Amino acid sequence: MVEIWNNVFIQFNREADGSLKLLPAKHVDTGMGFERLVSAIQDRLSNYDTDVFLPLFQRIQEISGVRPYSGKFGAEDADGIDTAYRVVADHARTLTFALSDGGVPSNVGRGYVLRRILRRGARYARKKLGVPIGSFFSSISPVLVEQLGGFFPELSKSPEEVKKMLDEEEISFAKTLDRGERLFDGYVAKTRESGSTVLNGKDVWRLYDTYGFPVDLTRLMAEELNLTVDEEAFTAAQAHSKEASKGAAKVGTKEAVKLDVHDIGALEANADVPITDDTSKYSKLDSVDKTDCFLCLCLF
């Protein structure tokens, strides 16, 4: 059975205290989008099997050189390539439309949602499709402009600006991903050596706080390895870090300086700032614990 239509009765608003309040106007959402209609007309079981996604899949295959899309799901998709096709195509569409509409990836609010979408898609591209990160999504975006630009003219207004934002985000994330995956692998090895299946929450927080490695991505990678995160320890480490930051900001008359991954990336690209030799961090896990907190200071 394939659902092509549903009815959603919009009647209440969920208030901040959890209570329901009647809306001044009530509506019925029929819940049938364009893609569902196309899949029904073309007699396909999935939206991804229609010609809506075909041009995107062809472009992804052209860039990556992997096998063609075969429509497998779950356990049947043993190599994860079909899943990667769907994730990348869907995320490319979301990013292209959102950025064309004026959205900007950032580290807060809706901008952070876009950043997380790009990072998740970029990791699938590299891990499952073997594609180098740097200009992957901007290579797919023109397909959408050509395919849908006539119906959505905003896609054709500033494609070069969209390309620039996509490339900047990918390049920045590539550095974060390289560093974070090395540390993550070390934490996984330490966890398994101890006979546990639960990653230390303090380590997970360090990946984010010191290196800008997304927590949701860490959880996803852990899940792929049948591991979980010690959420209680993570929350405690997060709270401790925030309290420490408040205290540091009050010391003396100077404000504390806190850099995110993009600030660090800008420093790394600055020829006047010497690059830190941090190879010792990866030689032994113990040395990582002792030195990684000094990364931001060393970059200066």
For 129-140, write each residue's pLDDT tens digit. Answer: 999 888 999 999
* 71 close to 49: Cβ distance less than 8 angstroms: yes
Structure confidence at residue 300 (pLDDT) = 37
Nearest to 48 by CA among 6, 93, 85, 92: 85
**Residue given tokens 């990556």 in the structure block:** 64
In a domain, 88, yes or no: yes
Q: Which of 69, 88, 185 is nearest to 133 (CA)?
A: 88
Q: Is 11 part of a structural domain of the chain?
A: no
Cα–Cα distance measured from residue 141 to residue 199, given in angstroms and rounded to the nearest whole number: 37
Domain assignment present for residue 17? The answer is no
Residue 25, in any domain of the structure: no
Q: What is the pLDDT of residues 241-268, one digit of tens each?
A: 878 766 655 555 555 566 655 666 677 7
Mean pLDDT (the chain) is 84
DSSP 65-113: --PPP----GGG-TTSHHHHHHHHHHHHHHHHHHHHTT----SSHHHHH
Token pair 């569902």 is found at 36
Question: Does a structural domain hold residue 167?
Answer: yes
Residue 213 C-alpha from the chain's centroid: 10
Q: Is residue 152 part of a domain?
A: yes
The conformational region for residue 40 under phi > 0 = left, psi -120 to 50 = alpha, else beta, is alpha
Residue 16 pLDDT class (50, 70, 90 cuts): confident
Q: Give me the mean pLDDT over the 276-281 stretch.
A: 64
* 20 DSSP β-pair partners: 14
Is 137 part of a structural domain of the chain?
yes
**Helices then strands (H, E): number in the chain?**
12, 4
At 294 the pLDDT is: 36
In 3D, which of 187, 179, 172 has the Cα closest to residue 266?
A: 172
Structure tokens given for 157: 């207004």
What whole-number distance in Å separates Cα of residue 10 and Cα of residue 19?
15
Instruction: Name residue, tokens 């959880």.
Output: 219
Domains: count for the chain? 1
Domain span at residue 103 reads 34-175
pLDDT at 190 over 80: yes
pLDDT in tens, 38-88: 998 999 989 999 999 999 999 999 999 999 999 999 889 999 999 999 999
The C-alpha atoms of residue 254 and residue 230 are separated, in whole angstroms, by: 35
Strand runs labelled E in the chain: 8-14, 20-29, 198-199, 228-229
∠ CA 10-14-16, nearest 5°, is 160
For residue 260, being part of any structural domain is answered with no
